[in-house]
Amino acid sequence: MMLMLATNWGYSIDVDKLPLLLTVDEFDSMGGSSMSSGYEAKQATLNGVSQAIRDYCGWHVAPKLTCKAVVPDSAHVILPSMGVTELTETVSTVEPRHANSYGVIDMRRQALLEVTYVAGFDMVDALKQAAYQIAANHLVATAGLREEHAGQVGATYNQTDNGVSGGVRLLASDKAMLAPYKLVGV
């Protein structure tokens, strides 16, 4: 039996750790080597970018992985992934009965289906380009003071989005690039 890593998106995957959508070497080869940030800063940024993209899309996106999800058993099953290329196993189960905090037991039992499948996309250029753009935007507008004013005291801060200083943020243009990978309803 394989060990599965639980994800934030309602299913498990057959890896110990999700790979980055874009590595530091790939980032540098796309033009990121001209940025003054060091390897560790780029690595941290690319970790944040990969997570932000995956959270926005509502699933792991890439690469192709064996996944396992428990979904309601019905005539039409919706898996929490895209790019499904293989259905390897389905097992019918029944949700166990449980009491709520008031001690009320719901005697209705939900039939469930445990589905093992292969899903995800190979690392496509458009996805790598989106990751590069998001990372580059973050690295050139890192959180912090942009300029200070001595007369009438004032300061201006770098912003990664309207009114937001710091952190990896997906701009409207980034979300438009990621739209083909986003699950409906997420």
Q: Which residue has the tokens 């944040």?
A: 48
The per-residue pLDDT for 118 is: 97
| Phi, psi of 94, deg, nearest 5 | -130, 135
Torsion over CA: 176, 80, 186, 132 (sign): negative
The per-residue pLDDT for 12 is: 95
> Global pTM?
0.80
Which amino acid would we find at residue 21? L
Torsion over CA: 130, 29, 47, 12 (sign): positive
The per-residue pLDDT for 157 is: 58
Closest listed residue to residue 116, CA positions, set 19, 13, 7 = 13
Q: E strands of 85-135, at which residues?
A: 86-94, 111-119
DSSP-derived letter for residue 80 is: S
Tell me the pLDDT of the chain (186 aa) as tens digits.
Answer: 567 899 999 999 999 999 999 999 999 999 878 877 889 989 999 999 999 999 999 999 999 999 999 998 888 889 999 999 999 999 988 766 666 777 776 666 678 899 999 999 987 888 999 999 999 988 876 655 556 666 777 666 555 566 655 668 888 999 999 999 999 876
CA distance 50 to 44: 10
Closest listed residue to residue 171, CA positions, set 28, 18, 53 = 53
DSSP codes of every residue in 2-54 = ---EE-TTS-EESSSSPPPSS-HHHHHHTTGGGS---HHHHHHHHHHHHHHHH
The per-residue pLDDT for 74 is: 85
Contact 93, 112 (CB under 8 A): yes
15 forms beta bridges with: none
CA distance 128 to 123: 7
